[in-house]
Structure 1
Amino acid sequence: MSSSHSSDLYSRKSEEIRRASDEKNSEHEDSSDNANLDAASHHFPDDEDFQRIIAQNSVGIEETLTRYESTTQGLGPPEPALDFEKVESHPAFDSTYHKEDKWKYPVDQETRMRIVEFISDDFEDPRNWSTRSKWNYTVLLGIICFDVAMMSAVVTGDLDAPGRHFGVSTEAMCLTVSLMVWGFGLGPLLFAPLSEETGRNPVYLVTLFIAVIFIIPCGAAQNFGTLLAFRFLDGLAFSAPMCLIGGSLSDMWRNDERGVAMSLFSAAPFLGPVMGPIVGSLLSVKCSWRWVYWFMLILSACLYVVLAIFLPETHHQTILKKRARALRKRTGDSTYRAISEIEIRTFKKIAEETLLRPIVLLKELIVFLITMYMAVIYGLLYMFFFAFPMVYTEGKHFSPIKTSIMFIPVGAGVIVATAISPFLNRDYNKRAQRYLSQGEIPPAELRLIPMMIGCWFIPVGLFCFAWSSFPHVSWAGPCFSGFGCGFGFLMLYNPANNYIVDSYQHYAASGLAAKTFVRSIWGGAVPLFTIQMYHKLGLEWASSLMAFISLACCAIPFLFYFYGARIRQRSKYAYSPILDPNVAPDMESHPSALKSDECTTTA
């Protein structure tokens, strides 16, 4: 897209905003101190800077839709409608400043409004909080995500006891897992757009409170229907932190700081389910199956209280909207506006985009195949919770507690993969910087290198699990084969998310929403047929079938590594930004250089 075309679109949009502003605020005039011309001119970009801003806010080349053209292709404007990281204020030289405005926001010459944004070293900017504070909040959010993930699988520690109580089969008890996982997939379709309007903390506080309350009917259920209904509702409510925590971490950590924090967060959805059977079997055997729910109630309630007391709002636009409202009230000047107040997206519009775009993007080959791959991986994780008892409890006559201990190597594999994630991020940064230093865009396919390495661990682990699961073979074979699977899970998960983000940056949230929805639907379906599949095919061939499927999926990262660029060129929605060849941005400044997915809002 040419610079003149970008300028025309930018000018038309600015004129629309200016007219709306003049109609609403014609009666308001600045009534404050004299202009601080030096401060205003200090922020005013020269022509070269302005052209670079235009270029950075443009979406593509000839094969790629522009923001204007995309509205005619069925998806509407890209998301976010305004790139908050790149929108800059262009102060007018005749700006005056209110004495009540300690930030000294000038009048913007494009919109004639006072654009409220974070300034340098702004103490309210979450990215400027102390490292200690950010790590405290990161650990708290990670523990909450761990708790939510564990809640989904904790019941698998002993399905027989509640099954006998309600008079239903073990296969029917599998629904207690499936319904909660399905809730995980549906909830983000509502809570993700809601957080854009209200901020993250209100969504956290309301949904987690409801989720904690809904644990009580599960533990006190007198019939099977009550248990199933509230497990599903709990999944819906608990899905909010699963889809918002990634965004909270992105709010706090800068691009070049985010890698380790996001790696730790990404491990929680895998470590939680692995710990679930261990905790569940101990409580069920030593106390009763109802104490599984009472324990989760106590743990979740304690975490809720800590979150409610200590976690501040991190959503940038929510903080800035609050500041803008305070300035309007304090100064009587209604031109103070946060960016999100200038270009307003209604909740209805956001909800429509949230539901429509994921469906449309599933038609994209990249989104479709990556989604299918992640669904297979997620299904394998939940398959283990039913395959392990069949191998150890039925085949080797282990107790439920002893069987649950066999999950530890799966968690160990996840932890090792988490530990090497910073080194993988560093390797990506080096590879990407070679392109950025030459004024080129790092190809999205660089994200696939860890996938090309890690994909082999899962089929190898599954084949080892399959053919060492004979009753007369040592327990160590199937147990330690779980290490390779756990390691492979995380080695695939983060790069897959990042590849979708880099390939569809302006539609990344929708791409990830599609992946999360399909992944959760499949993950919830797997428990419903795992027991029957293992009884029908036998321990060895049932696991081998899943190994062959995961082996076939190993071709996906290689396919996109060699042909992904061509596929994206033919795509109507793939992202191809223009980069000024005279400027060599660093890893912090360029959107394609994200260390981790900012949209793991739908982890």
Structure 2
Amino acid sequence: MPNDELQSIDSYEEQFPQSYVPEPAAYDGAGNGDQASSNLKLVPTETAKSLQDMGLTSEVPIPDINAPTGTTAKNAIFPEEYTLETPTGLVPVATLHSIGRTATAISRTRTRQMDRQDASSSSEEKNDEEAEEELPAHIDKDVEFVTFVTNDPENPHNWPVWVRWSYTILMSMLVIAVAYGSACITGGLFTVEEKFHVSEEVSILSCSLMVIGFSLGPLIWSPVSDLYGRRVAYIVSLGLYVIFNIPCALAKNIGTLLVCRFLCGVWSSSGLCLVGGSIADMFPAETRGRAIAFFAYAPYCGPVFGPLVNGFIATSTRRMDLIFWVNMAFAGVMWIIVGLIPETYAPVILKKRARRLRLELSNPKIMTEQEAQGMSVGEMVRDCLLRPLYFAVTEPVLDLMCFYVCLIYSLLYAFFFAYPVIFGKLYGYKDNIIGLMFIPILIGASGALATTSWCESRYVALTHRRKPVPEDRLLGAMIGAPFAAIALWILGATSYKHIIWVGPASSGLAFGYGMVLIYYSLNNYIIDCYAMYASSALATKVFLRSAGGAAFPLFTNQMYDRLGLQWASWLLAFISTAMILIPFAFYYYGKALRAKLSKKDYSADAM
């Protein structure tokens, strides 16, 4: 063998020492099952030097927003596992300890469970383990964490750009489909009133209850996604959503319709709570901003298609069931499409790889950090339910931001019921023509996408000049906030019969533009302010936002009837105008306000 090749091999072995791992036992040909030999296979692993060359230090970074629930900065020693590519794909815990990653307090129970699956222990060894349980708990030093290898084709970050953007658009269409389903009945509320002989207020519940379901569904689908992957969560939840549209269409009484609409909200909510994560799975943190902008666009534009499409269906057929059959078809198509998209969630991809390596190499100590830590039901309840409620009670900063998001989302649903009152009373339009009045909202929202791209470019450029702070994320909200208020002032000022319909309809341009910018900006601000528990903070936002979206339709008609077409809009305009101060105040004084109002600093700076 040439000397240069021998030197290359020696250098490789020096950089990546190889551990001996027993292969499955070989048997003789006599068929008696006696072991003929026990082979050993050399497997290279990372060293302290190779990890340090990749930038790892003793300081544990904040886990990425897509890290598994419960894998927080308090107990993770290798949060880079799901975003880092290493030459060998295996990082020993002992090597992490050697560079200072030792601060952890997690159980070795999972490691022992996997040991017992592959080898029986003697009674003496069991006694040693029982005694060991009384010692301070740490991850077994013999464990090797699995990572993606360099240029790994299974890493979603390495998929071709056109593939990732295609999936982003398809995922955004799923959000539109789910949001469309929530508002589909608003284009034909009279069909519910006629079929079940109920009041308008009761028929509105068929919209509000599905939106309430949006706030409760994430309590189910977020843990399912963490444990089994996004693909499983989508397939199960959206399949149930498609099925439960059938009793909505065939309901014999209003009770059946309302219960099934609520359950439709619970099942379909995976499209709202997981898609942002799915998109983030495919893009590194520094480039995911533009992709997430599409996600910010979808949940606010999806409901607009409800009255736009179903206004024509309802007025031409007067059939409530047809509205739900169309919704079922749209949901069914998206269910099939999204079900074909491969898994994007890195922890689940690596768990499957770890399972395969354990079998191939007969080494039960190969696993992901999520597997090494385990996850109890109590931890799931704490992270998915208790902490979001705790934040809602103890974090005024988060409450203010969520209240603003809630207001914008609520105003969108208020438009669904204000427009029929305004255009019905002033111009005598039916639901099909009223649905067309929502097109300016779509145009304004589409224009906001270009602005979000500009805001993202400004933010990236800023990060090259200095260390960013959460308040840098508020540029979009400061641009969009005045437009939401302007839209309502225009709506009130033009709600007169002698003014052509273009006047009130044009308010949608400003509102659509402002609402997407506000949501995009505040969503990023919440993530940066609560980086240590971003998923819990976003869950708080989803809960409060959905509560507002469900409540506003219940009193919008009465408000316009009692206050009049002008003052009802102006009342909302006064509130929106006052809220303009929030992004500006936090941009200039946010750090001081967070220090004073927040119980604890959860931002990246606190780490």
Shared fold per TM-score greater than 0.5 = yes
Amino acid at match of 2:477: M
Indicate the residue corresponding to 2:569 in structure 1.
Answer: 543
Which residue number corresponds to residue 295 of structure 1?
326
Give, in whole Å, the separation in 2 of the partners of 1:297 and 1:253. 31
Other-structure match for 1:414: 445
Contact 1:105 1:114 in 2 (8 A): yes
1: CA distance between counterparts of 2:511 and 2:391?
29
- Look up the match of 2:211: 181
1:515 is paired with a residue whose SS is helix
Partner of 2:253: 223
User: What is residue 20 of structure 2 aligned with on the other side?
Assistant: none
Could you tell me which of 75, 82, 104 is aligned with 2:76?
82
Shift of 1:249: 0.7
Equivalent residue in structure 2 for 1:195, among 199, 222, 225? 225
Corresponding letter in the other structure for 1:247: G
Could you tell me which residue of structure 2 aligns to residue 567 of structure 1? 593
Count, aligned residues: 517
Moved more, 365-374 or 338-347: 338-347
Higher deviation after alignment, 553-562 or 208-217: 553-562
CA shift in 2, pair 1:497/1:539, >3 Å:
same
Q: What's 1:344 paired with?
A: 374
CA contact (8 A) 2:278 2:345 kept: yes
Aligned to 1:274: 304
SS at structure 2 position matched to 1:537: helix
Q: In the alignment, what sits opposite 2:545?
A: 519
Please report how far the alpha carbon of residue 222 of structure 1 lies from its aligned counterpart in structure 2 after TM superposition.
Answer: 1.2
Distance in 2 separating the partners of 1:36 and 1:161? 68
Q: Normalising by structure 2, what TM-score?
A: 0.81
- Between the aligned partners of 1:532 and 1:202, the Cα distance in structure 2 is 43
Structure 1 residue corresponding to 2:284, chosen from 243, 248, 254 = 254
Return the letter of the residue paired with 2:442. G
Return the alpha-carbon distance in structure 2 between the equivalents of residues 104 and 358 of structure 1.
Answer: 35
Per-residue Cα deviation, 1:186-208 (whole angstroms, up to 9, x for no partner): 11122112211111111111110
* Corresponding letter in the other structure for 1:342: A
Contact 1:183 1:235 in 2 (8 A): yes
Q: For residue 515 of structure 1, what is the amino acid of its counterpart?
A: K
Partner of 1:105: 90
> Max radius of gyration: which structure?
2
| Separation (CA, whole Å) in 1 of partners of 2:63 and 2:295 | 32
Partner SS state of residue 568, structure 2 = helix
Bigger RCO of structures 1 and 2 (CA < 8 A, at least 6 apart): 1
Q: Distance in 2 between matches of 1:462 and 1:117?
A: 51
Alpha-carbon distance in structure 2 between the residues aligned to 1:33 and 1:137? 39
Aligned pairs (5 A) from 1:447-486: 447-486=473-512
User: Aligned equivalents of 1:471 and 1:272: distance in 2?
Assistant: 30
Aligned to 1:387: 418
Distance 1:532 1:80 in 2: 50
Superposed CA RMSD in Å reads 2.6
Aligned equivalents of 2:511 and 2:533: distance in 1?
31
Structure 1 alignment gaps of length 5 or more: 1-29, 60-74, 91-101, 436-440, 580-590, 592-603
Determine which of 393, 405, 427 is the counterpart of 2:436: 405
SS of the equivalent of 2:413 reads: helix
1:476 CA drift (Å)? 0.7
1:152-198 per-position Cα deviation (integer Å, ceiling 9, x unaligned):
11111121122011101112111011000000111112211221111
Q: Please point out which of 484, 503, 510 is paired with 2:529.
A: 503
Does the 8 Å CA contact 2:168/2:291 hold for their aligned counterparts? yes
Structure 2 residue 190 is the aligned partner of structure 1 residue 164 = no
Compared CA separation, residues 405 and 324, structure 1 to 2 (3 A): same
> Partner of 2:145: helix, strand, or coil?
strand
Distance 2:563 2:370 in 1: 56
Q: Give the residue type in structure 1 aligned to 2:261.
A: R
| Structure 1 residue 238, shift from structure 2 partner | 0.5
| Distance (whole Å) between structure 1 residues aligned to residue 302 and residue 62 of structure 2 | 39
Shift of 1:41: 6.5
**Gaps spanning 5+ residues in structure 2: where?**
1-37, 98-140
Residue 404 of structure 2 is aligned to residue 373 of structure 1: yes
Question: TM-score, structure 1 length as denominator?
Answer: 0.81
Matches within 5 A, 1:42-61: 43-45=50-52, 52-54=57-59, 56=61
Assess, with a 3 A threshold, how the Cα gap between structure 1 residues 370 and 314 changes in structure 2: closer, same or farther.
same
Report if the CA contact (8 A) 1:190-1:351 is conserved: no
Match of 1:357 among 373, 387, 402: 387
Q: After superposition, what is the alpha-carbon deviation per residue over 1:252-274, rounded to whole angstroms, capped at 9, x for unaligned?
A: 11223322221112111111111
Q: Determine the structure 1 residue equivalent to 2:147.
A: 117
Contact 1:80 1:506 in 2 (8 A): no
Q: Distance in 2 between matches of 1:79 and 1:533?
A: 48
Contact preservation (8 Å) 1:53, 1:86: no
| Per-residue deviation, 1:33 | 3.9
The match for 1:327 is 357
